[in-house]
Structure 1
């Protein structure tokens, strides 16, 4: 059997493996090669202890993580790359309690970049760490495709920021903003 025949008779399947779950194989054809690729959520190594300057927190029954507020202002992509240098991502938020915790960690910041974005597909909001979407906290009228009420071109409004104005009550909602705007940000790193 030559290589061409082998390629015609076999199919190759590549899919993202969900961390901690064993993939089902009953939907694979009998003659197939299965390649498991870890999702981005599991791509970066987890750490065993929070570094200095980071705060450890765990929701009841949830996984522990380390959080850090960065007060230097960066564009969304650069902020996410800074988080990756610490084996993390811009913070993903999965509950109201976690949302409020991030506000507690960065109490004096105006707006904070979080990991929520629809950079790949307009209207399909995802977390930069690849975790599932289980919670949203959009402010009234958001996402609106505008930056502070100014429509500047739909392709630029693809990143979410946590509103955290000191004059407003805690827990104010998220807004979609131009990814090239510079904001403070919160990183999240998962613990083992």
Structure 2
């Protein structure tokens, strides 16, 4: 899929999704070392999705298949009802996702998240339309917020467990997610 296809996806997602916040950089000098204690998330417990994990209010699955951002998003839409690239809304969910990828593919931690820049406006959105209420950027990132070069969000680029803005055309592994219908927290 070329740049035009990615832009069409982003336009579609922007007008079909929810809220966005103005982008702010986060100083994470006191970030925790997640690798020192990493517990794998529990199974999803949804019929037909037992190989997916529970992370926050979602069922998530890691795909060790390198796709560009748009291809990964469309793949997620086919994998599960209401499926999208994963959105993260708190530190625990971010840490859980990191633990899963560390367990399943420790040699290649870089993954697509479902975040993307809104027409270089300084606003980021999630492909699932959920509210942008959490972020944990690598220091100095996002650095191409006002260009079309890096419009999509990846995890584990330079600092493990932190985010980076990256070119949407680069192929990376990814996590799909869908909302659980009921609360399985035990």
Aligned to 1:74: 67
Q: What's the offset of the Cα at 1:127?
A: 0.6
Cα distance in structure 2, aligned partners of 1:121 and 1:189: 27
Compared CA separation, residues 65 and 78, structure 1 to 2 (3 A): same
1:32-60 CA-partner distances (Å, limit 9, x unpaired): xxxxxxx647xxxxx954613211233xx
Q: What's the offset of the Cα at 1:131?
A: 0.3
Q: What's the offset of the Cα at 1:154?
A: 2.3
- The higher relative CO (CA closer than 8 Å, separation ≥ 6) is in 2
Q: What's the offset of the Cα at 1:129?
A: 0.6
Q: What's the offset of the Cα at 1:119?
A: 4.5
Compared CA separation, residues 143 and 50, structure 1 to 2 (3 A): farther
Aligned to 2:130: 131
Q: Say whether residues 1:100 and 2:110 are aligned partners.
A: no
Q: List aligned pairs for 1:43-82, cutoff 5 A.
A: 48-49=46-47, 51-58=49-56, 64-82=57-75
Q: List aligned pairs for 1:181-192, cutoff 5 A.
A: 181-192=170-181
Contact 1:76/1:181 (CA < 8 Å) preserved in 2? yes
Cα distance in structure 2, aligned partners of 1:185 and 1:95: 18
Q: Say whether residues 1:89 and 2:84 are aligned partners.
A: yes
Cα distance in structure 1, aligned partners of 2:140 and 2:151: 15
Compared CA separation, residues 89 and 143, structure 1 to 2 (3 A): same
Q: Say whether residues 1:157 and 2:157 are aligned partners.
A: no
| Count of residues in correspondence between the two structures | 134
- Say which SS state the counterpart of residue 165 (structure 2) adopts: strand
Aligned to 2:163: 174
Contact 1:119/1:159 (CA < 8 Å) preserved in 2? no
Aligned to 1:13: none
More helix by share: 2
Aligned to 1:24: none
**Off by >2 Å, runs of 4+ in structure 1:** 47-50, 119-122
Q: What's the offset of the Cα at 1:190?
A: 0.6
TM-score (norm 2): 0.65
Query: Rg bigger for which structure?
Result: 1
Compared CA separation, residues 119 and 74, structure 1 to 2 (3 A): farther
Gaps of at least 5 residues in structure 1 are: 1-38, 42-46, 59-63, 147-152
